[in-house]
Chains A and B, each alone.
Chain A
Amino acid sequence: MSGVFYEKFERHAHGEGLKAHSTHYCPGCGHGVVHRDIADILKELDAQDRTIFISPVGCSVFAYYYFDTGNSQAAHGRAPAVALGHKLAAPDSLVISYQGDGDLASIGLAETISIAQMGVPLTVIFINNAIYGMTGGQLAPTSLTGQKTATSPDGRGRAHGQPLKMAELIAQLDGPIYVERVALYDAKNRVKARRAIKKALQNQLEGRGYSFIEVLSECPTHLKLSPVEAEKWVQENMEPVYPLGVKKDVSATTEPWFKGPRPSYEPEEVLGLAGAEPALAEKRRTEWPAHVAKRDLSFKFAGSGGDGAQTAALLLVRAAIELGYDATHIPAYGPESRGGTSYADVHIAATEVLNPAAPEPDVLVAFNAPSLTKFAHTVVPGGTILYDSTIVTVAPTDLPAGRHILGIPFTKIAADLGKPMVKNVVALGALQSATKLLPDDALIETLAHVLKDKAAVLPLNRSAYAAGLAAVTPATV
């Protein structure tokens, strides 16, 4: 008794009778052997207080009955993910993900491989007994070819696949620094197993990296053998399929590196990263323009991906908010990462945007013909339609009556300035000129604010905006 086991197993049926000192494992089961190894090594390493033991699902689901350490019980297959969560939340802890073959090699395969590849210092102890124990002796990924189980009663056949060699699989990954397969069937191998487990725990304690120890273990009950016969079975049948030994070891050449998350809580830092700016002593507040009768205007910007419809929409929203209005923007894209359609619904309200959708906009800004065709009819009577007459060379004949329709060559104006990309800023200038919703300089002030780290492109944008403003004259309206 190393002192790492509870002196009374209170969690085992409330510690009544024999259960206070006896495990729930069958006679001859390998789990108990490995449990004793781990307990002794934790004692040797003086790591009992730091240890978080993850119990899996399987026969060792109740490992927390026995280990006087921090304990966390995981769902089936998820132990490495739970282990990682504990490790990142408590980086000085020693986290042991202790799993059987159904858990680790079947349902938890994705967690097993992805977290091994991450390489964060963790210790995975993999008990491979070639069968499901707790559910009653079913076929495991590690069951041997020809092995009869409850769900392969005629033996593991070709269509069941072949035994999964986890140690070799994990050793192929770049993440782990130490992978070894050991066995328990005789004294010599038990000494080796103990040594491997110790090294795997040390690698974590030193912050070197992830270690994976596969232990060939006996399940006399479901192999339907005596414990002694089961030891022999592991030696004679399992070991040829699962050769023992070190599969990978770069522990010595891997310098300790893991410090883990060490959170800071400086509001200034968070605000800086969030792009927040100190509160202004003077707020620029602008009265809602008297000539705009409605207290809430809605806009639709529509084009293809890359036209800049979303950017223009967001600039408008930001400018309105900086003036003290409320504003919202909702984007809508096609599934394409590039190109495809790109629409934006914008609302600007004197006090509060109630409904942020713009199915019947007051203003439409269309960058191409399909957008114009699609949305022109949704614009409310008396509303404004702006479109890029460089792209839409022939205006559709069926545009609705009773709307102010303005074809402005956004693209040509931008191209003449040397940068077709700024056509959306030209459009904003034209929009401002057509609606007079904001003060004339508001949008460009906002743009200057947004571009404060890219001062070089500001003059071009100023020119584009000014050109857009000038493009709409009383004559065009």
Chain B
Amino acid sequence: MTAPARPKPFLQPEYCKGCLRCVDACPKHCIEPGSEINPATGLIPVELHLDACNGCSLCMQACPEPFGLRPETERAHEDHSGRGDDFDLQDPAKLFGPKPRPSDPAADERDTVIAAPACEPLVLKGNYAAAIGALFAGCRHVFGYPITPSTEGAELMAKILPKLGGAFVQAVSETAAVNMMYGAGGAGVPCMTFTSGPGFSLMLEGVSYMIGAELPGVFVNVMRGGPGLGNLGPEQADIKLACRGLGHGNTHAIVLAPGTPQEMLDLTIDAFTLAFRYRSPVVILGDGYLGQMTGIVKLPETMLRRGKPSWSVCGDRDHRHNLISSIELLETDLEKRNEHLNRKYTAIARREQRADLYRCEDADVVIVACNTPARMAKGAVEVARAEGLKVGLFRPITLWPFPISALADLLPQTKRLIVVEAGPGQLEDELRLALSHAGFATPRIEHVRRHGGVLPSQREILNQLLGTPAASHA
């Protein structure tokens, strides 16, 4: 009798769960349900009687286990018979022979810095400025969903990216958009979105996953009036979301607060740098005025082409071993991962605090404000200085981490701290938390607040500074 042309199956009993799919599959009735419990698994593996087997392989196609029924050719040459209770897992290399390793894990590909020719400054809306900044940062993948007052950024990207061999996708929802970012970020490319509060709320699921899986991506949230649908005016009421509520679990991300169209561009470029430096999303919080505001914008001198990171999942041999995931099924593993994230947050808090100080050197009254309200505050500082008041503006550029170190230097000379914001005190909460964590006794904090799409006016800030009674908001 000649040997069969095709290999017969063999089975290591401990890899059989006894589901019996193969029993039906065998046209020659070579496989029977087993009768003995396997001591290693507690399951009852099938039994093979291969006299009639012609190697048709249907049983192997029916078997749901990767190491279940396999062709005889994969059986190791040594004899495994007679193993029972003393079953001991074999080294697969011994069982199946050495397997060719994929090439060594990839290294980070270097970024390329490309010089850009000198240009006249542009006159740009904040939203457009952020988009142009992203292009200079090497972003060629943008995923979005239209929402006022942020959409111009997406519209410009939709116009420009196809001409640059990039991709703009208008997703079916913000939920889909952020998950496209998860995919593109997971492939190691710079990607971004433009949104506003209601859309950002929807994206938070994905932001949490991106933080968990450690993926870069830039979120421009042009804040509008809330809660709910609210309105299209400027507000600063997503600060708590960006600083304290980025989806479920132990999440933080760097939050940048631009104050001018120029900063919309500059901070977007910085956001990509930070996103890749820390393998994390970065949030840019603008406000409705800033997104829509037109101003002078100087262009950067270089453009970046970002190299492929070593960890990316991008469909080639060198990166085949990589996994993008936020799962750690074993509690101790997840605890380790969270400790790793915490170390990252600590490093960010130490290294990345940024603030802009305006006339604070001799100030005994310090205004804390960010985004467009900081500009009203700046106007008020000038007027109050002319009145002889020693007032300065402390403008956090990173809202998380709050730039407490720079503020701490001012505290000894500060008699009054005034927080100016278009919202219910979320910036003040960040300030208070930062003071508390840094071990400062909280000084008395005054505030000027407007809500619902209204910004504090220069006059209101001035009234607070000079102690004149404020007119009602009639």
B20-28, B270-278, B394-402: which lies at the A interface? B20-28
Interfacial chain A residues near B164, Cβ < 8 Å: 263-265, 269-270, 273
Q: Are B21 and A231 in contact (CB-based, < 8 A)? A: yes
* Complex partner residue of A228 from B24, B112, B205, CB under 8 angstroms: B24
* Complex partner residue of B123 from A23, A270, A318, A330, CB under 8 angstroms: A318
- Contacts of A28-83 to chain B: CB distance below 8 A: 28-33, 35-37, 39, 48-52, 54-55, 61-62, 64, 66, 68-75, 78, 81-83
Complex CA distance for A33 and B191, rounded to whole angstroms: 36
Per-residue 0/1 for A335-359: is the Cβ within 8 Å of any B Cβ (1 yes, 0 no)? 1000000000000000001111101
* Complex partner residue of A33 from B21, B116, B299, B302, CB under 8 angstroms: B21
Interfacial chain A residues near B445, Cβ < 8 Å: none
Indicate whether A94 sits within 8 Å of B315 (C-beta atoms), given known contacts A36-B61, A114-B171, A321-B121: yes
Listed by A's residue number, 14 A-B pairs whose Cβ atoms lie within 8 Å are A86-B313, A86-B315, A90-B187, A187-B58, A228-B21, A231-B24, A267-B116, A268-B116, A270-B116, A271-B117, A277-B119, A279-B119, A330-B293, A356-B375
* Complex partner residue of B40 from A18, A37, A187, A318, CB under 8 angstroms: A18
A2-10, A363-371, A386-394: which lies at the B interface? A2-10
* Complex partner residue of B320 from A69, A277, A357, CB under 8 angstroms: A69
Q: Are B167 and A88 in contact (CB-based, < 8 A)? A: yes
Q: Does B441 contact A (CB under 8 A)?
A: no
Smallest distance from the beta carbon of B471 to chain A beta carbons, Å? 12
Interfacial chain B residues near A247, Cβ < 8 Å: none
Nearest chain A residue, comparing its CB with the CB of B377: A355
Known: A86-B184, A231-B21. 6 other contacts (CB 8 A): A11-B323, A18-B41, A114-B172, A187-B24, A356-B375, A357-B289
Interfacial chain A residues near B40, Cβ < 8 Å: 18
Q: Are B67 and A1 in contact (CB-based, < 8 A)? A: yes
Q: Are A356 and B372 in contact (CB-based, < 8 A)? A: yes
Q: Does B160 contact A (CB under 8 A)?
A: yes
Q: Does B62 contact A (CB under 8 A)?
A: yes
Per-residue 0/1 for A315-341: is the Cβ within 8 Å of any B Cβ (1 yes, 0 no)? 001100100001111110001000000
Q: Does B436 contact A (CB under 8 A)?
A: no
* Complex partner residue of A27 from B17, B180, B184, CB under 8 angstroms: B17
Band of interface residues on A? 35 or more
Smallest distance from the beta carbon of B380 to chain A beta carbons, Å? 8
Q: Which A-B residue pairs are the 5 nearest by beta carbons?
A: A85-B183, A93-B315, A32-B64, A355-B379, A89-B187
Interfacial chain A residues near B305, Cβ < 8 Å: 265
Q: Are A36 and B293 in contact (CB-based, < 8 A)? A: no
Complex CA distance for A265 and B135, rounded to whole angstroms: 9
Complex CA distance for A24 and B141, rounded to whole angstroms: 36
Nearest chain A residue, comparing its CB with the CB of B139: A263
Q: Does B296 contact A (CB under 8 A)?
A: yes
Complex CA distance for A356 and B377, rounded to whole angstroms: 11
- Contacts of B122-144 to chain A: CB distance below 8 A: 122-123, 132, 135-136, 138, 140-141, 143
Q: Does B18 contact A (CB under 8 A)?
A: yes
Q: Does A194 contact B (CB under 8 A)?
A: yes
Nearest chain B residue, comparing its CB with the CB of A279: B118
* Complex partner residue of B66 from A1, A14, A270, CB under 8 angstroms: A1
Interfacial chain A residues near B89, Cβ < 8 Å: 17-18, 20-21
* Complex partner residue of A269 from B63, B132, B163, B294, CB under 8 angstroms: B163
Complex CA distance for A154 and B140, rounded to whole angstroms: 52
Interfacial chain A residues near B176, Cβ < 8 Å: 78, 81, 110-111, 114-115
Q: Are B186 and A72 in contact (CB-based, < 8 A)? A: yes
Nearest chain A residue, comparing its CB with the CB of B324: A72
Nearest chain A residue, comparing its CB with the CB of B121: A321
Q: Does A144 contact B (CB under 8 A)?
A: no
Complex CA distance for A25 and B67, rounded to whole angstroms: 13
Nearest chain A residue, comparing its CB with the CB of B58: A187
Q: Are A89 and B378 in contact (CB-based, < 8 A)? A: no
Q: Are B289 and A73 in contact (CB-based, < 8 A)? A: no
Q: Does A274 contact B (CB under 8 A)?
A: yes
Interfacial chain A residues near B302, Cβ < 8 Å: 267
Nearest chain B residue, comparing its CB with the CB of A275: B122
Smallest distance from the beta carbon of A10 to chain B beta carbons, Å? 10
Q: Does A416 contact B (CB under 8 A)?
A: no
Nearest chain B residue, comparing its CB with the CB of A326: B296
Per-residue 0/1 for B327-358: is the Cβ within 8 Å of any A Cβ (1 yes, 0 no)? 10110000000000000000000000000000
Q: Are B67 and A21 in contact (CB-based, < 8 A)? A: yes
Smallest distance from the beta carbon of B327 to chain A beta carbons, Å? 6
Complex CA distance for A89 and B70, rounded to whole angstroms: 37
